[in-house]
Amino acid sequence: EAGVAQSPRYKIIEKRQSVAFWCNPISGHATLYWYQQILGQGPKLLIQFQNNGVVDDSQLPKDRFSAERLKGVDSTLKIQPAKLEDSAVYLCASSLQGWVSGANVLTFGAGSRLTVL
Amino acid sequence: DQQVKQNSPSLSVQEGRISILNCDYTNSMFDYFLWYKKYPAEGPTFLISISSIKDKNEDGRFTVFLNKSAKHLSLHIVPSQPGDSAVYFCAARSGGTSYGKLTFGQGTILTVHP
């Protein structure tokens, strides 16, 4: 099966500019996640979608970050305006269902590395 | 508030020996624990998991041990191979109405020397 696709792989912008990242999850996966991984730290959940509805965005800086998942498939994460501390790898992941019994195995994409100058 | 902690930033072992990676957690509501492996420029890939009602799960060279009373889990790799060199993340799943949210530790860089 095809994996989780993300683009772009790398992006360099200046602070106060905007950027958007795109994710195409594994076909049939109802749950989609955006994680932020800052260098030297573990991935931190930004937002979680169940189909096209948001189930957790408690750690999303809503004054500058936004995300949508149209038609319950692809998703876009936007940052506007960017700050220096937004430099990180943005990981998209998907899973069949978020809350089924058993371990919730997420499949991750390769990530989009953002550098804010 | 870091609910999942990996206190060793790095670990270096000789090929053929055992690698032991440790993880501590604080939230008693976690119901599953997972280990992910990450190579440079790639996303994390799932390695092995364990339910909170078990104390051991084994898959080939990889074994995860869970000590609920100590809120501690460990990943054992025996024998270690150079291809195991990667960053290892411990993750914990929130049960109940959290829709399967995973919380990750900071990661441990494992280097296996030939």
Q: Is pLDDT of A55 > 60?
A: yes
Which backbone phi and psi does B71 adopt, to 5 degrees? 50, 55
Q: Which of B4, B99, B102 faces A55 most closely, judged by CB atoms?
A: B99
The pLDDT, as a whole number, for residue A103 is 66
pLDDT digits (tens, 9 = 90+) for A71-111: 888 999 999 999 999 999 999 999 886 555 566 788 999 99
Interfacial B residues in 67-106 facing A (CB < 8 Å): 89, 93, 97-106
Q: What is the signed CA dihedral for A10, A15, A18, A21, rounded to 10 degrees?
A: 30
pLDDT digits (tens, 9 = 90+) for A3-53: 999 999 999 999 999 999 999 999 988 889 999 999 989 999 999 998 889
**How far is residue B25's CA from residue B20's CA, in Å, rounded to a whole number?**
17
In terms of Cβ atoms closer than 10 Å to its own Cβ (0-12, 13-18, 19+), residue B6 is buried
Other beta carbons within 10 Å of B104: 24
pLDDT digits (tens, 9 = 90+) for B13-47: 999 999 999 999 998 889 899 999 999 989 999 99
How far is the alpha carbon of B78 from chain A, nearest alpha carbon, in Å? 23
Q: Which of A45, A105, A109 faces B101 most closely, judged by CB atoms?
A: A45
**How far is residue A51's CA from residue B65's CA, in Å, rounded to a whole number?**
34
Q: Shortest CA distance to A107 belongs to which of B54, B61, B56, B42?
A: B42
How far is the alpha carbon of A113 from chain B, nearest alpha carbon, in Å? 9
The pLDDT, as a whole number, for residue B97 is 62
pLDDT digits (tens, 9 = 90+) for B76-99: 999 999 999 999 999 998 876 666
Half-sphere exposure of A42 toward its Cβ, with a 13 Å CA cutoff?
Answer: 25
User: A95 touching B, CB under 8 A?
Assistant: yes
Q: Which of A4, A91, A99 faces B100 most closely, judged by CB atoms?
A: A99
The pLDDT, as a whole number, for residue A99 is 56
**How far is residue A88's CA from residue A13's CA, in Å, rounded to a whole number?**
12
Taking an 8 Å cut-off on Cβ atoms, the answer to whether A109 and B43 are in contact is yes
The pLDDT, as a whole number, for residue B100 is 73
User: A91 touching B, CB under 8 A?
Assistant: yes
pLDDT: is A113 or A71 the higher one?
A113
* 3-state SS assignment for residue A99: coil
The pLDDT, as a whole number, for residue B102 is 87
Please compute the mean of the pLDDT values over residues B4-8 and round it to a whole number: 95
Taking an 8 Å cut-off on Cβ atoms, the answer to whether B107 and A42 are in contact is yes
Average pLDDT, chain A: 91
The pLDDT, as a whole number, for residue B94 is 82
The pLDDT, as a whole number, for residue B96 is 66
How far is the alpha carbon of A3 from chain B, nearest alpha carbon, in Å? 11
